[in-house]
Amino acid sequence: MTDAEDRKPKSDEARSAFMPPAGAAVDGDMSTTSEFAIPEGLAVPRTTGTESETTSEFVFPKGLDVPQAPAAEPESSAFNPPRTYSAKNAPPAFTPPTGIPVISLTKDVPWQDRMRTMLRMPVAERPAPEPAHKAEEDEGPAVPRVLDLTLRIGELLLAGGEGAEDVEAAMFAVCRSYGLDRCEPNVTFTLLSISHQPSLVDDPVTASRTVRRRGTDYTRLAAVYQLVDDLSDPEAQISLEEAYGRLAEIRRNRHPYPGWVLTAASGLLAGSASVLVGGDLIVFFAAVLGAMLGDRLAWLCAGRGLPEFYQFTVAATPPAAIGIALALAHVDVEASAVITGGLFALLPGRALVAGVQDGLTGYYITASARLLEVMYFFVGIVVGVLVMLYVGVQLGARLTPEAALSTDPRPLLQIGASMLLSLAFAILLQQERSTVLAVTLNGGVAWSVYGAMHYTGEFSPVASTAVAAGLVGLFGQLLSRYRFASALPYTTAAIGPLLPGSASYFGLLSISQNNVDAGLVWLSKAVALAMAIAIGVNLGTEISRLFLRIGSAEKRRAAKRTRGF
């Protein structure tokens, strides 16, 4: 055998590329080594201190590159920066090509729009509040007390009929005025909650409050808005004790109008509504009498602790009874206008507008609860009116819807009646005296636009109502921005002349006469008019913000929220 044949491997597994050459002495177990292994006798440097600061006992020759095995990273929190991260030389990863837009909130605009803008943007993009805290302690605000004050303010706003988004904006403003960042308010129909998390590693603090009683008092609502506005002012240093004192004073304040004024306003509202649908002087006084009797009966039921459903049922019976009595007595008047006027005084327009507004802004749970409440109130009115109409039909009373619809338009008289209706509605809502004149004029403008479009332009009543309600919302929002107050006192009473009282009555009358198909048509029209009012008011509100350059497209994030992004 030759030397070449001797060096040739017997098989593929006979030799390995890592086998030592023939004749080389191997000490111990034969093991493979890497070409990067440190030569024998070369000292391995010992690493001390941090990863960035290493010292060695042995100085390597210049040019000698000795690799080291990477050290295992110790276990740490997920919030710690990576080992390769440097704060001075931060990598440009995850930055969009156009850069991150700076969120700037103008301090000259009302606090409602600033807080609403931040509520509609993601939490990570919200700007931090001012570092100065309005608290007595140097360590920072008393978080539980600030949250309690916030919930109490939100309770008054929600009980007064304010929309869910506006309540959250007010709660957010109170928290940020005391320097609390990372706050998340949550408003439903009967429950308010707020959570504050100081940092990503601290435990959150959560508090909640239940709203059990509701009452319509726009004077108190305006006072709460003024308190929030003062707290949001960076120049006003209001301590927690002062804020609690002002809130207690707001709660103790009595209503601006006594009970007999409210009863008279209820009658005046019904009488004005009867004139709008074609009534004369006799119908006016009959509607006034029926509404006042219904209001007193409702107060009596409320004093006995009966739920509001039965209060609405009892309040709807006197106007219907007086209208049927006039029809049975063969008095030459429009008896249907008397009943229609009574319905105007009972329709829950405030709750309807608030419910639809909550739905349009994405608060679907609160909107569903409000609309369900409106449905129960309307069912109570339906029960009271249907009982009296059934009795009248059985007694032979002739009540025809065509009698009230055939009346020719009377522009001057109807405009005056609409303004009187808005005035009475404002008193029933316990508004401030300084806002009554503005809302009265707003109601007159609403009916003027409706009459010009429907009677003169021959537009559909639904379209005319939507445009008129949009102007109501627009003017009401402009007035509220001028006075830095809530828009409800300037819009709710002004939509009174547009409420679908006649359509509701004619639907109930047709059902009581066993004409169910016609009744459903009338009731569907009433629902369409109600939705047109609510959507028009909300649309007018949004348009006014666009005109004032508040909540513009580059600042508002409502589309992300409502589309689920």
Highest mean pLDDT among 33-37, 93-97, 349-353, 357-361: 357-361
By C-alpha distance, which of 395, 479, 481, 405 is closest to 442? Answer: 479
More confident residue, 199 or 227: 227
Which range has the worst mean pLDDT, 190-194, 417-421, 520-524? 520-524
Task: Give residue 5's pLDDT band: very low, low, confident or very high (50, 70, 90).
Answer: low
pLDDT digits (tens, 9 = 90+) for 80-129: 655 655 555 655 555 555 555 555 555 556 666 666 666 666 665 666 66
Contact present, 221 and 488 (Cβ < 8 Å): yes
Q: What's the alpha-carbon Rg for the chain, to the nearest Å? A: 37
Give the 3-state secondary structure of residue 196. strand
DSSP state of 305: T
DSSP state of 128: P
DSSP state of 50: S
Q: Tell me, what's the pLDDT at 148?
A: 92
Dig out the tokens for 174 from the structure: 């109170």
The whole-angstrom separation of Cα 323 and Cα 320 is 5
What pairing do the DSSP bridges indicate for beta strands 183-187 and 191-196? antiparallel
Contact present, 436 and 426 (Cβ < 8 Å): yes
CA angle 94, 100, 104 (to 5 degrees): 150
pLDDT digits (tens, 9 = 90+) for 443-496: 899 899 988 888 888 888 888 888 998 888 888 888 877 776 778 888 888 888
Contact present, 346 and 315 (Cβ < 8 Å): yes
Strand (E) positions, 166-306? Answer: 183-187, 191-196, 205-210
pLDDT of residue 13 exceeding 50? no
pLDDT digits (tens, 9 = 90+) for 392-440: 878 877 766 555 444 567 788 888 989 999 999 999 888 888 888 888 9
The whole-angstrom separation of Cα 339 and Cα 386 is 11
Q: Tell me, what's the pLDDT at 93?
A: 52
pTM here is 0.69
In the predicted model, what is the mean pLDDT of residues 318-347?
Answer: 82
DSSP state of 100: P
The whole-angstrom separation of Cα 271 and Cα 10 is 118
Q: Tell me, what's the pLDDT at 346?
A: 84
* Per-residue burial over 401-412, b = 16 or more CB atoms within 10 Å of its CB, e = otherwise: bebbeeeeeeee
Q: Tell me, what's the pLDDT at 75?
A: 57
- One DSSP character per residue, 402-468 reads HHHHTPPP-HHHHHHHHHHHHHHHHHHTT--HHHHHHHHHHHHHHHHHHHIIIIIS---HHHHHHHH
By C-alpha distance, which of 352, 370, 366 is closest to 526? Answer: 352
Q: Residue 307 is which amino acid?
A: P
By C-alpha distance, which of 406, 388, 412, 391 is closest to 339? Answer: 388
14, containing H or E segment: none
**What integer best gives the mean pLDDT of the chain?**
75
Please report where in the chains the tokens 């009475």 appear, as a residue: 424
CA angle 415, 420, 422 (to 5 degrees): 95
Q: Tell me, what's the pLDDT at 149?
A: 92
25 C-beta neighbours (distance < 10 Å), count? 5
Within 13 Å, how many C-alpha atoms sit on residue 59's CB side?
1
Burial group, residue 306, by CB count within 10 angstroms (0-12, 13-18, 19+): middle
Q: Tell me, what's the pLDDT at 378?
A: 83
pLDDT of residue 151 exceeding 90? yes
DSSP state of 471: H
Contact present, 504 and 347 (Cβ < 8 Å): yes
The whole-angstrom separation of Cα 542 and Cα 532 is 15
pLDDT of residue 136 exceeding 70? no
